[in-house]
Amino acid sequence: MEEKLNMPLLGDDFPELKLQTTHGEMDFPRDLKGSWFVLFSHPADFTPVCTTEFYSFQKHYDEFKKLDVKLIGMSVDQVFSHIKWIEWIKDNLDLEIEFPVIAANDHIASRFGMLHPGKGSNTVRAVFVGDPDGKVRLVLYYPQEIGRNIKEVLRAVKALQISDKEGAVPANWPENELIKDRIIIPPAKDEKTAKERLKEHECYDWWFCHKANKE
């Protein structure tokens, strides 16, 4: 019987799974509770595009760490393949991969919607951002032919953390063409507040007001 594709949706709890990684067993997402995390899948070890992605994720590792964000890679390759590939990256590219890589099977990959019909047995390039409560906050999917922009993943996590505290962030934040790195204030829900907004904040109109980013 074919297994149903179950892709976690925004706001969902991540599925609870026992996972084998290059750093040992992981009780997911329980072991990550209290921390933001980025779970990203790649089609296969020892492939050019995936190698460039792992290299870039590691190059930005310290930036993710400063945000208290943990990185976790994943594919359906076996753990010994992950270990050998990580050794190859260190020996040939002079870079040590510090984050764990999950050795998934088809069942685990399907729980994340990472196996798509028509794409063979490899996992697609999926990115899931999880919050400290283990909830799905962002989902990105890329075809196998296109490598991810790691700086965009980092920007998105920063934006999520700030929006939880301050409000919505604009397009291309923090370099928005209209309001730069400022934060959008949620629209007023009554006439009194709408009038007060125009006096209290910088606004294009009562429904489009913004404030300085405190972070």
* pLDDT digits (tens), the chain, 215 positions: 444 556 788 999 999 999 999 999 999 999 999 999 999 998 889 999 999 999 999 999 999 999 999 999 998 889 999 999 999 999 999 999 999 999 988 778 777 777 665 555 566 788 999 999 999 999 998 888 899 999 999 999 999 999 999 999 999 999 999 999 999 998 889 999 999 999 999 999 999 999 999 87
Residue 118: how many CB atoms within 10 A of its CB?
4
- The structural domains of the chain, ordered by start, are 17-147 (3.40.30.10), 166-215 (3.30.1020.10)
Q: Got the DSSP string for 109-147?
A: HHHTT---TTSTTSPPEEEEEE-TTSBEEEEEEE-TTS-
Please report the pLDDT score of residue 115 as a whole number. 66
Residue-wise pLDDT tens digits, 126-184: 899 999 999 999 999 888 889 999 999 999 999 999 999 999 999 999 999 999 999 99
CA dihedral 170, 174, 177, 183 (to 10 degrees): 40
Tokens coding 54:
């792992």
| Token digits of residue 181 | 């790195």
| Under 8 Å between Cβ of 40 and 128 | yes
pTM higher than 0.95 for the full model?
Answer: no
Which residues are annotated as catalytic? 50
